[in-house]
Structure 1
């Protein structure tokens, strides 16, 4: 097995699942601090936005050949994720208790996307060189991969895993926060 395949396997079977596990742990911390009664819907929506910001490049790298366009999307999404993560903590810190466990979760949630991006850059180094040398001709379209990474069933497994571990919990958090916001608005009226 060559180095690129080892890095791809590390991404597929270590880093991507770990990102989901830590996301679930972070959701547990939010639930324990009753986010719906403290920082509320605004913070909860930021969490969903950050998940989408990392989810889009993950899907693009799983479904399409990595070219300059895909790398630009990955880089842009990572930068936006960092900005929203900073805004999230800045917003939440004065409104609710952030435990040491949640801070540890945030450490992973902030660094894992960077490490995944770095690994994608290493695996696709010739494309990175094209990116920085502005050799973008013919590399600004999406081309499906012939052989899906991780085999035929990986994408379905990973999407199911993430839906159960992160999608549904964060949807529940958003709904819980929305219900609380509507209750508070009803009391104020």
Structure 2
């Protein structure tokens, strides 16, 4: 099968052609306010507890305690959060995307519980870090809730099994988010999430190698 002739592939090839999704700053209607708070509140806010949690791990010397085991769980949780966020930012929200978001939120919560269970048994998890975790756990659910409110028709379609032809296809948004917004959010995630936790994993890997050779 030649994927180049797939309707889904053709749709993604024309991803940037439609007009960007307007997010007016002065809009006071419910939909506009919800979308604005999701895009400029909930998603960027995620970076703050992410950096704070990394600082807590560094202060309690994660590399000398739980090490790569906990760092790998952090990478897993970032993947569980990152995939649905990327889909929500780039793809048309339909029953497929909502199902992935819901499943990822459940998986993220379960992994977070696993992470805390591992950490509390081997290193000091201070009350401040536990409070930071509460933000990291609730923000994915908040993002999912806002998305469901903005796409109530797709929630109904998902609950009914999604009978429309495009309900279970990964399609680009009819009106994509602006390149400036996507680039800015991408830079923020890279600087506040990807780089710190890559540094953490590198530090844990170096400490593990050092212990093996000592």
> TM (normalized to structure 1)?
0.95
Match of 2:186 among 159, 163, 181: 159
2:173 is the alignment partner of 1:145: yes
Moved over 4 A (4+): none
Contact residue 66 and residue 122 of structure 2 kept, 8 A: yes
Q: How does 1:1-189 map to 2 (within 5 A)?
A: 1=27, 2-138=29-165, 139-149=167-177, 151-187=178-214
Q: Distance in 2 between matches of 1:53 and 1:135?
A: 24
* Gap regions ≥5 residues in structure 2: 1-26
Conservation of the 8 A alpha-carbon contact between 1:78 and 1:113: yes
Q: Give 1:146 deviation, angstroms.
A: 3.7
Cα distance in 2 for partners of 1:94, 1:161 equals 32
Counterpart CA distance in 2 for 1:136 and 1:91 is 43
**Coordinate RMSD, CA, aligned:** 1.1
Q: CA deviation at 1:185?
A: 1.7
Cα distance in 2 for residues equivalent to 1:133 and 1:142: 18
Seen in structure 2, the aligned counterparts of structure 1 residues 96 and 136 have a Cα distance that, compared at 3 Å, is farther
Equivalent position SS for 2:122: coil
Check the 8 A contact 1:65/1:143 in 2, yes or no. Answer: yes
Distance 1:31 1:121, change over 3 A: same
C-alpha separation between the residues in 2 aligned to 1:4 and 1:113?
Answer: 19
Shift of 1:152: 2.8
Q: How big is the shift at 1:115?
A: 1.0
How many residues are treated as equivalent by the alignment? 186
Counterpart CA distance in 2 for 1:136 and 1:118 is: 23
The residue number in structure 1 matching 2:22 is none
Q: CA deviation at 1:58?
A: 0.7
Cα distance in structure 1, aligned partners of 2:60 and 2:187: 27
Q: How far off its partner does 1:143 sit?
A: 1.4
Unaligned runs of 5+ residues in structure 1 are none
Could you tell me whether the CA contact under 8 Å between 1:64 and 1:145 is conserved in 2?
yes
